[in-house]
Amino acid sequence: MKATVDSLIKGCEALNMDKVFEIFWNSPDFRMISMDGSLCDYQTYLGDNIGYLSECSSFELTTFDERIDVLTSDIAIFSWIYQAVTVLRTGEKDVVDKARRIVYLSADR
């Protein structure tokens, strides 16, 4: 499961959208809490992030805390506190400090 999360981080830092989103399940049951606290479905999450990442020239993630709670042999919940520092193509720097995510991971994803 840790390898799955590491793959997501590497995908973000490489600005590789396919790598970033391969761990997420395109399902009507998908829900993500966005940075502003709103809930979004898979298509909204994908569209918002592809749009944002396409405006970036670099993306760096720093993990402050992480925890994997294994629920069964193939299901876990990943809790993550991190900082995201991006440089936009315009040269502006965007810093999200102490962001939090909870990600449901399944071995078949």
Residue 78 CB coordination number (10 Å): 19
Check residue 48 and give its pLDDT: 85
Give pLDDT tens digits for 37-55: 788 888 988 888 888 888 9
Name residues whose C-beta falls within 8 Å of residue 69's C-beta, 6 or more positions apart in sequence. Answer: 76, 77, 79
What is the number of structural domains in the chain?
1
CATH number at residue 88: 3.10.450.50
Name residues whose C-beta falls within 8 Å of residue 17's C-beta, 6 or more positions apart in sequence. Answer: 11, 49, 50, 53, 54
pLDDT in tens, the chain (109 residues): 678 778 888 988 999 888 888 878 788 888 887 767 788 888 988 888 888 888 999 999 998 998 888 888 877 888 888 899 999 999 999 998 877 766 666 665 4
Question: In which domain, by residue range, is 41 found?
Answer: 2-106
Residue 7, burial from CB neighbour count under 10 angstroms (0-12, 13-18, 19+) = middle
